[in-house]
Chains A and B, each alone.
Chain A
Amino acid sequence: MLYSLCECSSLEKKQFEKLVEEYSCTKVSHWKKFTEYFFLTLGSGFLLSGITFFFAYNWNNIPGFWKFGIILFLLIVSIVISISRNIKILVQKMSLLGASVLVGVLLAVFGQEYQTGANAYDLFLVWTIAVFSWTAVSEFTPQWLFWSVLSNTTLILYFNQVVSGSNISYLFIGLLLLNIFILILPYMLGKMQNYIPHSYYRSLMIFVCNFLSVFGVAIWLFSETGNKDIQMNEVTLLLISIMWIVGSFYASLKIKNILMFSYFVLTVVSIVLMLLYKVLGDSETSFLIYTLYVLFGTYGLIKIISHQQRKWSYES
């Protein structure tokens, strides 16, 4: 952006170069901080990976007691670091995230040693429940993302391993409701803690919910089942999807979030394309219509997003 200033002003080349160095290049103080963190992270990351690989090499020869001992020791160290007051907050939070991962490793080793015969779903469910309390108090966005991955994996594995053979609409109702819940939860808890998750959390979760709702509409649209129970479920999925889409639209207007608004427009354009396909099928001319729709749909989408963004930037 700074380079446009050069074209719109009477700045001389040398003056401009100085300006770029001041505003566009990384400052020496930032570099110094960065090199320290960068090399420290790389060094400890490589060293820890090496130690992990070393254990993996000898894993079968290590007695069960030591396997549990090693993991529990690491878990305790991580927890102690995460509650120590003299350590930087970022290190504390990273340590808590590490502890959350180690809980899963501990459960996996438990299953491996005692051959419990439990489903992978059981492991993930216990893992999700076990680390929830840490996540709730963590005030750390990566921890929330990690927890959302865990809970989604649990639900998908539950439908795969426990209720296998059920209609896909059940899974999508579950996933959509779960992800809406996971999106809202940190904001609700954050009110009590004076904490707001990082904006990328919201962007990512809203994208996931929109993606699931487009799938929800598609399942209802292209379903050919005669089973009334399944039809009811598909209608439920459709209603939840529509409610989410409309809700996200109003929310985007209220908080003036262009990314959320863009997702909404993209969702609508995708649903209209699916409707067209349902109506026109796969005849010769229909594909020409789809081509034109996609071309002008892309144009319309960018036009609407740009218009809204311009409007909000003038308002602010």
Chain B
Amino acid sequence: MSLKNEWDFLLDKLKCNGIQVDTFQFEKEILSWNLRTVFVKTIAVLGGFLAMGMLSVFLGITGILDNEYVMLALGGILLIISYVIMKNKDNAISDGLSVSIYITGFFAVVASIAIFNDMMDDLVYFILFLCILGLSMFKNSIVVFLNCIGVYGSLHWIVVSNQVNYLFCFYLLFLVSFCVFLFWNEIKIRTANKQLNFYYSPVLTASFIYSLGMGIISSTDIFFSYYQTDIRIMPYILLAGLLVITLFTIYFILKYLKISDLFSKISVCIAVAVFILLWGHYPAFSVGLIFALWSFQNQFKAGFIMAICTFVWSMGLYYYDLNITLLGKSLYLILTGVLFLLIYWIVHKNRNKYEKK
């Protein structure tokens, strides 16, 4: 059955049950949703960054880039124009032109503040403020996504620049837990009100991508110096946190699958726990596993692909890790393989038992 026929079938079913549907409005929503493809969104963002690059060259050549007042005025005007035209119902204007103007204006304002005050930390606080302001004012999913990434990036910078490295693990744990919370409560959040429904997708996508990115960089040798801390317990806290989140995810899935057999439940939990403990020094593996499972549950296809790619990427990182010998690596991998095959066997056995019943 094609997608259109599926919708028609669903609408007919609802009407038969006495539910009134504003078909005209709904078809308009479907069309508008279909027009907002990933390609269109990518083009809008890339166009914005390219325009920003061109403008900065122009401003640099003309010397305007050194004049903070002109830059501030220019950025302000561009942001206002973007705000005004974003309300337009034509998606070429709201997603294309206004997003490009927004990115250009944002850059101009940030550049002007950088000239006023060349302290990087102050600038990052200002970017954080601007992103939060943008989040509350601009009702466009691409802009919300970019601002959300901006907020996460600024907070990350603050942690790194203040050398409070021990906060990094709490930050990663917070982001992963936040994503899991969003996945878990999708229906409740999206049906609560229109605002939350609008913010849900861009905020989830931004949090998801940022968490995966952080999982990868914290598993990479060259970034270790940023995340190493004198407090020796911190890596264990991160490990324990990821373990709790993974076990919660597994518990949720087992409950959803209605697996009541206590032996199966305990065996799967122990096998997953051993996996997390084995790969504790590679958070990307655990984050990838958690996100792959939740993405599958909520049918977030792009997320599922990203999570699997993170897994493959982590394997590449692991291959080039010089701190472990090839023998150590092979034993780790064989043990993990056996663990997953054990889970497969338990799940398969349980399924056969259930089907026989």
Residues of chain A having any CB pair with chain B under 8 Å:
1, 3-11, 13, 15-17, 20-21, 23-26, 28, 31-32, 34-36, 38-40, 42-54, 56-57, 258-259, 262, 266, 284, 287-288, 290-291, 294-303, 305-306, 309-310, 313, 316
CB distance from B302 to the nearest CB of A (A): 13
Tell me, in angstroms, the Cα distance from A232 to B100 when the chains sit together. 40
**Can you name 28 A-B residue pairings with CB atoms under 8 Å?**
A5-B10, A6-B191, A8-B22, A8-B26, A9-B19, A10-B20, A17-B187, A31-B296, A35-B253, A36-B348, A36-B351, A42-B337, A43-B337, A43-B344, A46-B337, A49-B315, A50-B329, A50-B333, A50-B334, A54-B326, A287-B54, A287-B58, A295-B51, A298-B97, A299-B96, A303-B92, A313-B31, A316-B4
* CB pair A302 B299 closer than 8 Å: no
Instruction: Say if the beta carbon of B357 comes within 8 Å of chain A.
Output: no
CB distance from B158 to the nearest CB of A (A): 32
A5 to B28, CA, bound (A): 11
Closest B residue to A287 using CB positions: B58
Q: Which residues of B contact A6 (CB under 8 A)?
A: 191
B267: CB under 8 A from chain A? no
Chain B residues whose C-beta falls within 8 Å of the C-beta of A24 in the assembled complex: 298-299
A305 and B96 CA atoms in complex are apart in Å by 11
Q: Find out whether the CB atom of A290 lies under 8 angstroms from the CB atom of B338.
A: no
Binary contact readout B57-98 vs A (1 if CB under 8 angstroms, 0 otherwise): 110011000000000000000000000000000111101110
CA distance A9 to B329 in the complex (A): 56
Question: Whole-angstrom distance from the CB of B67 to the nearest CB of chain A?
Answer: 15
Whether a CB of chain A sits under 8 angstroms from the CB of B215 is no
The dominant DSSP class at the A interface is: helix
B261 CB to nearest A CB, Å? 14
Cβ contact of A294, chosen from B25, B47, B61, B256, cutoff 8 A:
B47
Does B331 lie within 8 Å of A306, measured CB to CB? no
Extra pairs beyond A36-B347, A306-B35, A309-B34 (5, CB < 8 Å):
A32-B257, A47-B338, A284-B58, A287-B58, A299-B92
A2 to B187, CA, bound (A): 11
**Once the chains bind, are B47 and A9 in contact (CB under 8 Å)?**
no
Chain B residues in 8 Å Cβ range of A21: 187
Contact A266 B43 (CB under 8 A): yes
Q: Provide the bound-state CA to CA distance between A100 and B31, in Å.
A: 44
Partner of B334, one of A32, A40, A54, A301: A54
CB of B122 within 8 A of chain A? no
A49 near B337: Cβ-Cβ < 8 Å: yes
Set of chain A residues within 8 Å of B194, measured between Cβ atoms: 7
Are the C-beta atoms of A1 and B20 separated by less than 8 Å?
Answer: no
Residues of B within 8 A of A291 (CB): 51, 54-55, 58, 104
